């Protein structure tokens, strides 16, 4: 039996990167996990790989193709998880996108795309998870992925920063509005995490002349990290398992920084 045995969880953005690591860490502790992502083929493979862990500890695993900005698809994803596991205890709203642009060039499309997935997607995910938890009468936990970009504005990613400040606001407002239903809302804010997201970000930064080569932005950030290196996805999962567990039951409305000491304000 793991620390999270019997806990039913959904993780969005779980086809790769931080979301995949969150899901795998939950399964390792015995939780039942629905891996969900807009990339259905990839997330199905990730869930299948997780069976190698779940076969040893009895955790159940399923997957769902979902666009987090589409309420019907979010409802279907929750329905799939509930029919597989019987209930929903913990919902991770982790799916996120970034597309760097010079501030003066930011278009409505760029703004709507980023705010749509990171902001609206988070809110719909919170609402639908909460409705399910309320109907169960069990309470539950909602955990949102924020960012160091929800503490300060960075250059060339204004809509991304705005969207991650929105995640903090949704976490705080949701914590207040859902407390009467015994639902806690927390979040965590990674610093710089080496994931595939950075490959596209590097390309975009080079395209607008904000970087000369791949990896440059990460190197520049590294100089500001007290731990002396950027994070790997599994540097995040001790905290996410804690936020999914009963050990964090008295926390709500808070964002945990996991940034290697990059932001000390």
Shorter beta-carbon distance to ligand NAD: residue 38 or 170 = 38
CB 53 within 8 A of CB 27: yes
C-alpha span between 201 and 214 (Å, rounded): 9
CB 233 within 8 A of CB 21: yes
Q: Specify the 3-state DSSP secondary structure of 209.
A: coil
Interaction of residue 82 with ligand NAD, rule CB under 6 A: no
Contacts 24+ apart (CB under 8 A), 167-170: 167/93, 167/118, 167/119, 167/122, 168/255, 170/119, 170/122, 170/123, 170/126, 170/144
C-alpha span between 204 and 214 (Å, rounded): 10
# residues near ligand NAD by CB under 6 A: 28
Interaction of residue 216 with ligand NAD, rule CB under 6 A: no
Shorter beta-carbon distance to ligand NAD: residue 29 or 37 = 37
Interaction of residue 94 with ligand NAD, rule CB under 6 A: yes
Site string for ligand NAD, 10-29 (x = CB under 6 A): --xx-xxxxx----------
Q: Cβ-count burial of 14 within 10 angstroms (0-12 exposed, 13-18 middle, 19+ buried)?
A: buried
Shorter beta-carbon distance to ligand NAD: residue 93 or 132 = 93
Interaction of residue 187 with ligand NAD, rule CB under 6 A: no
Non-local (6+) Cβ contacts of 150 within 8 A are 161, 164, 165, 167, 168, 189, 255
> Cβ 1 to ligand NAD, closest distance in Å?
29
Which of 35, 63, 160, 198 is an active site residue?
Answer: 160
> Cβ 103 to ligand NAD, closest distance in Å?
19
Q: Quick one: which of 31, 77, 117, 126 contacts ligand NAD (CB under 6 A)?
A: 117
Angstrom distances, CA of residue 68 to CA of 50, 88, 263:
22, 17, 29
Interaction of residue 171 with ligand NAD, rule CB under 6 A: no
Residues 150-169 within binding reach of ligand NAD (CB under 6 A): none
Interaction of residue 237 with ligand NAD, rule CB under 6 A: no
Residues 34-73 within binding reach of ligand NAD (CB under 6 A): 37-39, 66-69
Angstrom distances, CA of residue 29 to CA of 167, 203, 241:
27, 37, 8
Shorter beta-carbon distance to ligand NAD: residue 27 or 68 = 68
Helix/strand/coil percentages in the chain, nearest 5? 50, 15, 35
User: Is 160 noted as a catalytic residue in this protein?
Assistant: yes
Shorter beta-carbon distance to ligand NAD: residue 11 or 30 = 11
> Cβ 113 to ligand NAD, closest distance in Å?
9
> Cβ 215 to ligand NAD, closest distance in Å?
13
How many Cα neighbours within 13 Å face the side chain of 221?
A: 23
Shorter beta-carbon distance to ligand NAD: residue 117 or 133 = 117
Residues annotated catalytic, as ranges: 160
Interface with ligand NAD (CB under 6 A): 12-13, 15-19, 37-39, 66-69, 94-97, 117, 121, 145, 147, 190, 192-193, 195-197
């Amino acid at each position: 039996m793991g620390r999270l045995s019997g806990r039913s969880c959904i993780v969005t953005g779980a086809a790769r990167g931080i979301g995949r690591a969150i899901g795998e860490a939950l399964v390792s502790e015995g939780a039942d996990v629905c891996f969900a992502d807009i990339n259905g083929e990839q997330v199905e493979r990730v869930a299948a790989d997780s069976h190698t862990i779940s076969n040893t500890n009895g955790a159940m695993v399923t997957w769902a193709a979902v666009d987090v900005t589409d309420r019907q698809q979010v409802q279907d994803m929750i329905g799939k998880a509930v029919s597989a596991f019987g209930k929903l205890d913990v919902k991770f709203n982790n799916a996120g996108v970034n597309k760097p642009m010079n501030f003066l060039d930011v278009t409505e499309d760029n703004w709507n795309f980023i705010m749509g997935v990171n902001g609206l997607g988070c809110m719909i995910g919170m609402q639908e998870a909460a409705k399910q938890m309320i109907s169960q009468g069990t309470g539950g936990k909602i955990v949102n992925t924020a960012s160091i970009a929800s503490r300060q504005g960075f250059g060339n990613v204004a809509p991304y920063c705005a969207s991650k400040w929105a995640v903090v606001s949704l976490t705080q407002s949701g914590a207040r509005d859902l407390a009467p239903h015994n639902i806690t809302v927390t979040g965590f804010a990674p610093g710089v995490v080496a994931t595939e997201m950075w490959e596209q970000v590097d390309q975009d930064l080079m395209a607008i002349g904000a970087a000369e080569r791949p990896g440059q932005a990460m190197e520049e950030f590294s100089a500001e990290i007290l731990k002396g290196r950027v994070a790997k996805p599994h540097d995040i999962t001790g905290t996410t398992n804690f936020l999914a567990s009963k050990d964090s039951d008295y926390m709500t409305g808070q964002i945990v920084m996991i940034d290697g000491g990059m932001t000390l304000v």
